[in-house]
Amino acid sequence: MGQPLPEDRSGRPVAVIGAGTLGRRIAMMFATRGGTVRIFDPSAEQRQAAVDYAAQALPATVRDLGLGPAGTVEASDDQARAVRDAWLVVEAVPEKLDLKRKVFGQLDAEAPEDAILASNSSSYASRLFIDEVARPERVLNTHFYMPPATNALDVMSCGKTEPSVIDFVKRVFPDYGLHPFEVRRESTGFIFNRIWAAIKRESLEVVYEGVSTPQDVDAMFKLNFGTKAGPFQMMDQVGLDVVLDIEDHYAAENPSLPEGPRKLLREYIGKGRLGVKSGAGFYDYAKDGKPQEAWGS
Ligand SMILES: NC(=O)c1ccc[n+]([C@@H]2O[C@H](COP(=O)([O-])OP(=O)(O)OC[C@H]3O[C@@H](n4cnc5c(N)ncnc54)[C@H](O)[C@@H]3O)[C@@H](O)[C@H]2O)c1
């Protein structure tokens, strides 16, 4: 028998596992069409920050994307309760393979049998987390970028994903203002994240070698490509610890990658400068997350 699909989503929540930079944004996006999104995180502080973020960001997101009426994002301190009755569970825990493996094993046992289990991992193929999953037909990667500003999405099979599950995600996610693109064969970094990895790496290397500064690279990038932010501002938004985890993974697969980018990231992380989420990274941030002044300039 094929994997059942959650065709009737009415009255069923979405669950998000992990309430950090991305988890709270993903939760907020799935609350743009009414209904409830439950977000689970072991940290009470992160749970509260996620609920506060959603309450603040939802009205403008619903208005700007022409969605609505807005639903609600609720925090949960219990994963099994968070996924009860859910039609979709999106995992957004730290980029650690063993943790993802454990969490997918738990979600497979706890979630309803027709619930889709999706990973927001930035660089790991979901094929690598299904060892403890009895029903891998419903597991896949759904890689978000920075919603609500950047709403493209990479969608990739775990190798055993039922094609109807991929089609369902491609059909239903646009209801929430998201734009899914299918990755047509397994690829570390999916589609656009591979291209972004190359931009990040070379930007970091240019600064590591003392050729330029984060501010000048960002200024040139914005002038030349017409973007609102440069790569260092974008990395600060992502979180420098997350950027390092991802680059470590690429380097483990490809040992010929230069070490400068990772050394520069470790230098900033060692000083507690993790980016917007810690109040400082390549730039210093006011409480509203806007850059105040570049560090080290
Ligand atoms: N930051 C980005 O721009 C970005 C973009 C796309 C994808 N991702 C991916 O999303 C995932 C999360 O990244 P992030 O930037 O949100 O990280 P983050 O460090 O901001 O947040 C991770 C959250 O997970 C929580 N957590 C830890 N263990 C947990 C567990 N067992 N169950 C539930 N929650 C747990 C932490 O308390 C924290 O709140 C990673 O796989 C990352 O690669 C991040």
Please report how the helices 214-225 and 231-238 are oriented relative to each other, as an axis angle in degrees rounded to 10.
Answer: 110
* Assigned token pair, 117: 């289990």
Query: Could you tell me the distance, in angstroms and rounded to a whole number, from the CA of residue 20 to the centre of ligand 1?
Result: 5
- Considering the domain boundaries, does residue 1 fall inside one? no
| Residue at a domain's end among 182, 217, 252 | 182
Question: CA–CA separation, 171 vs 179, rounded Å?
Answer: 10
Sign of CA dihedral 249, 255, 260, 261: negative
Amino acid letter, residue 113: E
- Considering the domain boundaries, does residue 60 fall inside one? yes
Domain count, the chain: 2
Q: Are residues 206 and 171 in the same domain?
A: no
275 lines ligand 1 (CB under 6 A): no
- Choose among 108, 166, 162: nearest CA to 141: 166
Q: Are residues 159 and 284 in the same domain?
A: no
Question: CA–CA separation, 239 vs 58, rounded Å?
Answer: 22
Following DSSP, what letter does each residue of 136-198 receive, concatenated? Answer: GGGEEEEEEEETTTEEEEEEEE-SS--HHHHHHHHHHGGGGT-EEEE-SS--TTTTHHHHHHH
Cβ of 109: how many Cβ atoms within 10 Å?
13
20 lines ligand 1 (CB under 6 A): yes
Predicted pLDDT at 105: 98
Query: Could you tell me the distance, in angstroms and rounded to a whole number, from the CA of residue 99 to the centre of ligand 1?
Result: 11
Q: Are residues 222 and 160 in the same domain?
A: no
Write the CATH number for 91: 3.40.50.720
Q: Are residues 142 and 111 in the same domain?
A: yes
Query: Could you tell me the distance, in angstroms and rounded to a whole number, from the CA of residue 27 to the centre of ligand 1?
Result: 13
| Residue at a domain's end among 130, 150, 182 | 182
pLDDT in tens, the chain (297 residues): 689 999 999 999 999 999 999 999 999 999 999 999 999 999 999 999 999 999 999 999 999 999 989 999 999 999 999 999 999 999 999 999 999 999 999 999 999 999 999 999 998 999 999 999 999 999 999 999 999 999 999 999 999 999 999 999 999 999 999 999 999 999 999 999 999 999 999 999 999 999 999 999 999 999 999 999 999 999 999 999 999 999 999 999 999 999 999 999 999 999 999 999 999 999 999 776 666 554 432
Question: CA–CA separation, 153 vs 173, rounded Å?
Answer: 9
144 lines ligand 1 (CB under 6 A): yes
* Assigned token pair, 74: 């609720």
Q: From residue 260, give the alpha-carbon distance in Å to each of 237, 263, 268.
A: 21, 5, 13
40 lines ligand 1 (CB under 6 A): yes
17 lines ligand 1 (CB under 6 A): yes
Ligand 1 atom 18: residue of nearest CA: 20
Q: Are residues 108 and 216 in the same domain?
A: no
CA atoms within 13 A on the CB side of 219: 6
- Considering the domain boundaries, does residue 3 fall inside one? no
| Residue at a domain's end among 182, 216, 251 | 182
- Considering the domain boundaries, does residue 7 fall inside one? no
Q: Are residues 200 and 144 in the same domain?
A: no
Q: Are residues 245 and 154 in the same domain?
A: no
- Considering the domain boundaries, does residue 139 fall inside one? yes
Q: Are residues 22 and 108 in the same domain?
A: yes
Write the CATH number for 219: 1.10.1040.10
pTM of the model: 0.92
Q: Give the mutation target among 16, 21, 178, 192 for probing the ligand 1 site: most ligand atoms within 8 A of CB.
A: 21
- Ligand 1 atom closest to the Cα of residue 123 is 43
- Considering the domain boundaries, does residue 9 fall inside one? no
Ligand 1 atom 25: residue of nearest CA: 18
Predicted pLDDT at 1: 61
Predicted pLDDT at 202: 98
- Choose among 277, 279, 278, 273: nearest CA to 296: 273
Q: Are residues 39 and 178 in the same domain?
A: yes
- Considering the domain boundaries, does residue 188 fall inside one? no
* Assigned token pair, 24: 């709270």
Predicted pLDDT at 294: 45
Q: Are residues 171 and 198 in the same domain?
A: no
Please enumerate in sequence order all residues whose Cβ is within 8 A of that of 73, keeping only pairs 6 or more positions apart, or say none: 24, 27, 28, 31, 36, 37, 38, 39, 50, 51, 54, 55, 58
The domain of 203 spans: 194-294
First to last CA, the chain: 62
Cis peptide leading into residue 69 (ω within 30°)? yes
- Considering the domain boundaries, does residue 165 fall inside one? yes
Q: Are residues 166 and 201 in the same domain?
A: no
- Choose among 1, 58, 45: nearest CA to 19: 45
Q: Are residues 66 and 168 in the same domain?
A: yes
